[in-house]
Structures are given as C-alpha cells and as structure tokens.
Amino acid sequence: MDHEITLALADDELLFRQGLISILSQEKSITVFFDAEDGNDLMQKLRTAQQLPEIVITDLKMPGLNGVETTKLIRKEFPDIKIIALTSYFSKPFIVNMISIGAVAYLAKNSTPKLMLTTIKEVAEKGFYYDDQVLKFIHEGLLNPNDKMVKSNFDTTYFTKREKEVLHLICKQLTTSEIAEKLFISPRTVEGHRNNLLLKTESKNVAGLVIYGLKNKLVSLDSDTF
C-alpha cells in the first residue's frame, strides 16, 4: 500500500470513537480527516469538507440519522467514497441489506484492531472487502430468482472469456497486479477489462461487480475454474 488512506469516522459512542482514532493514528499510511457523533454530523462535515476522505467508517445504530440512511445519502451525494459499515449486529438480512445499498465492507464492533486495519487497507486497494462469511451471506441472500438484477435467460456470450476470467479473480479478491500475473497480461489490460465489466453490468463500483457476478451465477465461490 503506497498511497495515504484518508478516513472519516461516525459513531455516537465517544469512547469507542476515540479508541478507533487512537488505533488508526498509529498507522503511518492512514490519516483520519475528521470524526462525527452521528449521521447528521457526518453529512454536514462531508458537505463542508475542503477535501473528502477516501473511506468512511460508520456505525449503523446511531440516534438521529442512522448509519443505514447515512450510507444511502453518501452513495447519492458522494459516490466515490467507500463505506465500511460498523456494527455489533451481525445477521444475514442486515448484512445483505447494507451491501445492497452500498457498503463495500462490514466490520463487527468486536473485531480485532488487526482485522479493522486489514479491512481498511483491502478496501483502499481493491474497492471492497468481504470475508468468507459475508460472501456466503451475499450468495445466499441475493440469489433471489425474482430479483430484477438477475437475468432469467442470462446470455453468457455477453462477456468475453477474458472478462469472465477477470471477474472471477476480482470476486476472489485478487488485486489488479495479482490478476495480471495470474492471467499473464498487463495491469493496464486488467483495468481495461474491469472498466468494460463495470459498463456492461452497469455497476457503480467493484463491490457491485462482485454482487452481479454472484447473482447471475457467473462466479462460484467454491470453484477455481472459470
């Protein structure tokens, strides 16, 4: 990770928020631009910020404007910001809902500092971070035959073989350089395929691509074949 990762935090528990800031301030590659006590405070600070953070970590259960509504607002007003959802409530419907409205990673409040730092760095590098449990939840919870995003007669010729290979490796959470190495192509070529995939699937970000791939059964989590 060579670039500086910029963050903003929102949590209504002051002690918890200060604890996070204390952990993050020890990381040279991470800068916390500001913290907020709830969703309204966060939105106000984002709207008046001279420089926007790359990532927002927001608690979901806050008084006033909660994290779910805040996530929807950020996706609408600041679509380039990546949102990590922070909560003590770790259930399948809740996670699936958060991801479907735009969170690119999910952190339980009892996570270790090491897992939090890993999640932040993975999100900064790849655009999303889902552990095996969350991927399983997405797979089970989003594969709904009535879902508009799933094409009933999916045209497999819509994507080239190479695009499907790249999508598979993105879903396996490989970085651009790792994908390039595995497929014996340049990182620039990987970026080109990824951009084509974003256009073809009408996904706003890489996290959206992963969800699309799983929904349309283009990718199997258990298989290493394309």
Lowest mean pLDDT among 8-12, 90-94, 95-99, 188-192: 90-94
pLDDT of amino acid 184: 95
What domains are defined for the chain? 5-140 (3.40.50.2300), 146-215 (1.10.10.10)
pLDDT tens digits, residue range 121-130? Answer: 999 999 999 8
pLDDT tens digits, residue range 57-106? Answer: 999 888 888 888 999 999 999 999 999 999 887 777 778 888 888 899 98
Contacts 24+ apart (CB under 8 A), 87-92: 87/59, 87/60, 87/61, 88/61, 89/60, 89/61, 92/137, 92/140, 92/141
- List CB contacts of 93: < 8 A, sequence separation 6 or more: 141
Q: Check: CB of residue 67 under 8 Å from CB of residue 59.
A: yes
CA–CA separation, 11 and 34 (whole Å): 12
Q: Check: CB of residue 103 under 8 Å from CB of residue 183.
A: no
The pTM for the full model equals 0.79
Judged against a pLDDT cut of 60, whether residue 151 lies above it is answered with no
